[in-house]
Structure 1
């Protein structure tokens, strides 16, 4: 694209130069032709004005020759013609040859146009014979060539002015683009170059804006990933330290045999095992979450009926729900809603959501699950009753960093719902929570399968 752009700019520049040059040359030729016509008229006017003067000058020359009794050679070698530098004066010798009175030219002339309308011919008498004196106005001395200089200067100036006018907007826009690039280079990637016209420079401005926007999005993503990683390390350190400290304490009691009976020792072993399993689960969740945040997960996308998947999942977890006296009710406006998704990852989402329901949901209540289709999206809404007051914190449920001390029930790390959010995002979906005491609703939006829409790529 860059090479193509440069080639097109080169073509435009060459076209502008040729156009300006063509106009300037046409004007130059036109003015030169007009100047030639006017020059002829000026020459004719000068001849008419000089006729009387030429006669007087010739009479003066004859008078000097007669007075000084000068031969042809005397006249040719004399200085009497110097004051008549506005004329080209020629003399014929006794043998009929033509000589110029200009002393810088010693040879005689054979090619003088005797038929020229500008040539005046007079008889002259020397001491040693007769001859002819020819006088022609020296137009180079009489008529200035300033007009040719003016025409040339005007044509060159016209070329430069046309070139400037034809490239003025492009040069101005190039400056705008350059200023915009400098602003972006200074870190203002949200700044945009104004898009003007419809040419190669316009396409260049659009490309630069697109590049800056893409770069800004990537930088925002990197900042967000860095923020999540930093805060994850800060928060997870507490979650890891708590069971680890407890585990070390119980193992220390067992190591020192600090128990009164075998049953008490077995109790310590069971507690240490529980803490170890919790620690293992935390580390596994941390590993999964880190891979999701870094988008280091390959989804195995397939076309799945989300209604059937949810029904099967609920049937499988019934034993866990029964322990908490929880009932389920599934409502769907469709018998089948096909969604492109990775089944294993979506099952992880459902497991984490229902694990939170079993931990924090109110016993002897009903979990309502609705599945609907709206604007080419599958809307999954899971609602349960809870004793927690989430009036001001429901919107932060999926933020790994928002697990306050008062919400750390049953030693929850809060990382499970963060994993849920990242998996849904990887599927191109959206997830959010609503709270209307005592009902907590988690809503998942996923794109419906369409032959026109390709599966997500990771």
Structure 2
């Protein structure tokens, strides 16, 4: 019952507020009229000025014409209306301003802001409308960004699917039409088509996995993992790649045991992507460093390469899908263009954080993961 009364209080207040204003105006008008009457009577009796005497006499003459006290009713009504108009003018002006601003917003001007010189509920209403419009404006901006992202994704996927597919169709058509010279050339064309098919399969699988991660439909099978041991195994298993690319992998592991709760398979994929990326774009520097350390309750892993720096303009987008730094636009590297985006999503699925910094000395990918409290 109390809640119902409390909920109806604002309605009752707005229903009776004009009546209260009117009663107040009438009361004030009656007081003013009484003061004016007494003041005029006193001046009439004591004043030596003819215009005051003349004014009072003329007023009495009007009074006689209007059947006595009717003139007081007229004056009372005029004063009351003037006071009521003054009291309600500011509120009415704010309401009109509010209506005009809302109409402008309704016509599509979402940058318009309602600014009222009021401290009451109308001001509160204006602030609420401003907040709603600001949220709508942000939603509109986000929708435009999402639409642009979707368009870019479709464009990039179409391009990246079409490139290997065109090669596959081209070489298979040569084989189908028996346009190869001998068995050696046939095997060569078949090998190229097979490699392009693997690239196509990699792209499709990576795209599928990334979509599942971003839609939060990928589950983690977490176990306790010694991060230092995991990184040591990855470095050891990548030794052939390092030698083939003429790069030396240097490990600088901390003595601390970095025990975390993680999905080993997905975490291996994330660090393999970072190491592969470091080799691909940093092999000119001849060294790849894998560094670990502990800070408070956080395990920090750094993958460092000493190749060409990533331009500052590209750094904020390095984890975007299909984003290519200018120097790495060539798609003959066999990658899907989704490696770093997948890595970022895997780290974030583990409630971790990944960042990148780059200058003319080195490029550092830093991963932070929460340690498991044993």
Q: 1:151 to 1:349 in 2, by over 3 A?
A: farther
Q: 1:357 to 1:417 in 2, by over 3 A?
A: same
Q: 1:168 to 1:4 in 2, by over 3 A?
A: farther
| Counterpart check, 1:229 vs 2:144 | no
Contact 2:258 2:299 in 1 (8 A): no
Q: 1:158 to 1:35 in 2, by over 3 A?
A: closer
Bigger fraction of residues in strand: 1
Counterpart selection for 2:174 from 244, 253, 256: 253
Distance 2:67 2:301 in 1: 91
SS class of match (1:201): helix
| Counterpart check, 1:390 vs 2:310 | yes
State the Cα RMSD in Å.
Answer: 4.7
SS class of match (2:304): strand
Distance 1:205 1:310 in 2: 57
How far is 1:232 from its partner? 2.4
SS class of match (2:283): coil
Which residue of structure 2 aligns with residue 318 of structure 1? Answer: 236
| Counterpart check, 1:177 vs 2:95 | no
Which residue of structure 1 aligns with residue 324 of structure 2? Answer: 402
Q: 1:223 to 1:423 in 2, by over 3 A?
A: farther
Which residue of structure 2 aligns with residue 148 of structure 1? Answer: 69
Contact 2:290 2:301 in 1 (8 A): no
Which residue of structure 2 aligns with residue 365 of structure 1? Answer: 287
Bigger fraction of residues in helix: 2
Q: 1:334 to 1:314 in 2, by over 3 A?
A: closer
Whose relative contact order is higher, 1 or 2, with alpha carbons under 8 Å and at least 6 apart?
2
Which residue of structure 2 aligns with residue 296 of structure 1? Answer: 215
Q: Deviations over 1:346-393 (max 9, x none)?
A: 66543432332243331751323345659x98765432222x453455
Which residue of structure 1 aligns with residue 55 of structure 2? Answer: none
Residue-pair matches, total = 341
Distance 2:279 2:208 in 1: 24
SS class of match (1:361): helix
Which residue of structure 1 aligns with residue 54 of structure 2? Answer: none
Unaligned runs of at least 5 residues, structure 2: 39-61
How far is 1:279 from its partner? 0.4
Contact 1:379 1:444 in 2 (8 A): yes
How far is 1:319 from its partner? 0.8
Distance 2:20 2:232 in 1: 78
SS class of match (1:398): coil
Distance 2:6 2:83 in 1: 24
Q: Deviations over 1:105-164 (max 9, x none)?
A: xxxxxxxxxxxxxxxxxxxxxxxxxxxxxxxxxxxx994446633332343344434443
Q: 1:330 to 1:153 in 2, by over 3 A?
A: farther
How far is 1:275 from its partner? 1.3
Contact 1:174 1:201 in 2 (8 A): yes
Which residue of structure 1 aligns with residue 57 of structure 2? Answer: none
Higher Cα radius of gyration: 1
Distance 2:121 2:221 in 1: 43
SS class of match (1:390): coil
Q: Deviations over 1:285-308 (max 9, x none)?
A: 33344566xx52346589998x94
Which residue of structure 2 aligns with residue 274 of structure 1? Answer: 195
Which residue of structure 2 aligns with residue 244 of structure 1? Answer: 165
Q: 1:178 to 1:203 in 2, by over 3 A?
A: same
Q: 1:219 to 1:27 in 2, by over 3 A?
A: closer
Distance 1:342 1:164 in 2: 73
Distance 1:410 1:323 in 2: 14
Contact 2:306 2:361 in 1 (8 A): yes
Which residue of structure 2 aligns with residue 165 of structure 1? Answer: 86
Distance 2:181 2:329 in 1: 36
Contact 1:16 1:163 in 2 (8 A): no
Distance 2:128 2:137 in 1: 14
Distance 1:352 1:327 in 2: 15
| TM-score (ref. length: structure 2) | 0.69
Distance 1:238 1:178 in 2: 51
Counterpart selection for 2:251 from 322, 325, 329: 329
Unaligned runs of at least 5 residues, structure 1: 38-140, 451-458
Q: Deviations over 1:149-196 (max 9, x none)?
A: 333234334443444333333333333433443343344434433376
Contact 2:298 2:370 in 1 (8 A): yes
Distance 1:342 1:317 in 2: 18
| TM-score (ref. length: structure 1) | 0.58
